[in-house]
Chain A
Amino acid sequence: MDGATVLILAPIGRDGPAMADILARIGIKATVCAEYATLIDRMGPHCSAVAVAEEGLFGRDLARLFRWVKNQPPWSDLPFIVLTSHLPERRVSVWRAELVASLGNVTLLERPVQAITLTSSIRAAVRARKRQYELNELLSELESSNERFRLIVENASDYAIILSDPEDIITSWLPGAAAVFGWSEEEMLGRPVSSIFTPEDRAKGVPELELNRARVNGETPNTRWHATKGGGRVFLDGQTVALRHVDGTIRGFLKIGQDVTERQRNEQRQAVLLAELQHRVRNVLAMVGSLVKRGDSGSTTQEFRERLGGRIAALARTQALLTRGAGVGVELESIIRDELLSQAADEARMSVGGPQVTLAPKAAEVLTLAIHELATNATKYGALRAPAGRIVAQWRVKPQGAQDWLELEWRESGLEIAPDGNHRKGFGTELITRRVPYELKGRGELNLDADGLYCRIAFPLKTGESILQTDVPRPISACSERKPA
């Protein structure tokens, strides 16, 4: 320490200044104190050693001095050089023993003292004291870097950091771990690290395998789903590191991992979506292939092309609506209005109405095509072709057993049906009377009354999973209960 000085207390004669001279000659700075009280006042961290003659202390109240010695900081152990006095042995021996014991770091020099004895003793004391200063500096550097690391570690809330003993019992559960897993430090200290593994992994012995790999390799990746307090899952990407003593034996383990649950779930969702999309595209192509094979009996090639084009377009409209996003359905009313409008039907001649109903994807797909067929037929042969023709499309929702059923009626009127006017049993008929029961578990009928066509479609309403459903749960916080998928 700069400005460190040796305090000298030798009140009788010229001993003090003489000692200071000797020390100055070997480059050690010294300060002579005239009396005990001055010495006490000057003692402090800058004091590198104390050289004191017994007669300076004898008969004084040394309590303050002893208290100072006792209350030194951990790094400090101030060295004392004590020069014996010529006091009678029997008077001084007990006092001296107490002095040496209380000052602790004491070199006792019997007078008369050779100059070389004095200088070598003080030089040694000053050197030792210098080491203490250096250690103190290192300690405070360590402390501040420790503090820095502590702040970083405690504020890394996306990183779970866990320390454990050689038996993998948790000894440190840092705030990041609490944030990621939901358990507090009090809840986790003393518990095995294996309790953050999923029950499946525990059953397979994964925690033990991981520890063994860390023991053998020093560290091992720990990248997997873990269990949280709320019964949920978090995906950690990190590693387990074996911590060792200097002799190589295991001191414990450090587990550190970043919470990448959201990224992981997104990747899974992406993969499921991609597979669904692939499935969907192939299915649609298969369906188009099937539509091509299904003509209406007796139609010309030209008619067939037009009808097929219309069906594929209707299919495309539903696809566009259903793939807008996950969890979307389609409004029944908009299906009916859109199909009628695409036939350029006069709104004055149609009446469309019923409660608001959102159709699940499958039902939307079937009904769009069914309405398309009805509307096209009405334009070609039915109510939209006859000058006085009208279409009434209405529906209601009716409970049937445990389920709500949609009952849809399509009635055309204002037609003059020739007595032999069998309507053609074609694509639309098959769709309504066979596909509706098959795919929607409902009923469909199509009749030609004297007044015009009458169609009834009924099926149970299902709350629709989206075709973009991935079954991967949304991100959840560690503490919340996982919702049923």
Chain B
Amino acid sequence: MSNALLAGRSVLVLEDDFYLADDARQTLEDAGASVLGPVSTVKDALNLLDRTTPDCALVDVNLGAGPNFESARAIRSRDIPLIFMTGYDATTIPAEFANAPCLQKPADARRLLAVVAALFRR
């Protein structure tokens, strides 16, 4: 049944670490979602967003050079719901994103799916 949890949903994954990105992809695909990316840079994410609109986006706060919210803003401006993944304290996330769920790393597969599924129920 869990395979149907995210059936028909598309999720953009923006995460600079290959293993974490690949794990997230695997988890989401196993739950029936189609994954855009994963991509490791803001530029690649924006290129993808120019071509297609996912149902939600999973965004790592640090893409290698400290906290960065450029892609989060671009995603928000396209009305795509987003979920943060971060190794920082949740307080690093600016107030403008207060209602975006935040997954603390390391996040296991079950938690990731629960948060994504909850976003679609809203």
Q: Taking beta carbons and an 8 Å cutoff, which residues of A are in contact with B? A: 272, 275-276, 278-283, 285-287, 289-291, 293-294, 362, 434-435, 438-439, 465, 469, 471
Task: Give bound CA distance, A283 to B23, whole Å.
Answer: 13
A278-B88, A438-B40, A439-B40 in contact; A290/B20 too (CB < 8 A)?
A: yes
The answer to whether A275 and B88 touch across the interface, beta carbons within 8 angstroms, is yes
Query: Chain A: which residue is nearest B24 at the CB level?
Result: A290
The answer to whether B62 and A287 touch across the interface, beta carbons within 8 angstroms, is no
The total of chain B residues at the interface (CB under 8 A) is: 24
Interface residues of B in 1-28 (CB under 8 A from A): 16-23
A366 to B: closest C-beta gap in Å: 8
Query: Chain B: which residue is nearest A287 at the CB level?
Result: B19
The answer to whether A434 and B87 touch across the interface, beta carbons within 8 angstroms, is no
Give 5 A-B contacts (CB < 8 Å), ordered by A residue: A290-B23, A434-B18, A435-B18, A438-B18, A439-B40
Contact with A283, one of B21, B65, B105 (Cβ below 8 angstroms): B105
Instruction: Report A-chain residues with C-beta under 8 Å of the C-beta of B52.
Output: none
The answer to whether B19 and A435 touch across the interface, beta carbons within 8 angstroms, is yes
The answer to whether A276 and B66 touch across the interface, beta carbons within 8 angstroms, is yes
Instruction: Report A-chain residues with C-beta under 8 Å of the C-beta of B17.
Output: 283, 286-287, 439
The answer to whether B106 and A285 touch across the interface, beta carbons within 8 angstroms, is yes
Query: Chain B: which residue is nearest A291 at the CB level?
Result: B19
Instruction: Report B-chain residues with C-beta under 8 Å of the C-beta of A293.
Output: 23
Instruction: Report B-chain residues with C-beta under 8 Å of the C-beta of A278.
Output: 87-89
Query: Chain B: which residue is nearest A435 at the CB level?
Result: B18
Task: Give bound CA distance, A293 to B22, whole Å.
Answer: 11
A288 to B: closest C-beta gap in Å: 8
Instruction: Report B-chain residues with C-beta under 8 Å of the C-beta of A276.
Output: 66
A275-B92, A282-B87, A286-B105 in contact; A438/B21 too (CB < 8 A)?
A: yes
Q: B104 near A: Cβ within 8 Å?
A: yes
Q: B86 near A: Cβ within 8 Å?
A: yes
Task: Give bound CA distance, A471 to B21, whole Å.
Answer: 27
Task: Give bound CA distance, A462 to B9, whole Å.
Answer: 37
5 pairs of A and B residues whose beta carbons are closest in the complex: A286-B106, A282-B87, A279-B87, A290-B19, A435-B18
Give B71-98 as 1s and 0s: 1 = Cβ < 8 Å from A's Cβ atoms.
0000000000000001111001000000
The answer to whether B87 and A281 touch across the interface, beta carbons within 8 angstroms, is yes
Task: Give bound CA distance, A283 to B15, whole Å.
Answer: 11
Instruction: Report A-chain residues with C-beta under 8 Å of the C-beta of B62.
Output: 279
Contact with A362, one of B64, B88, B89, B92 (Cβ below 8 angstroms): B64
A381 to B: closest C-beta gap in Å: 24
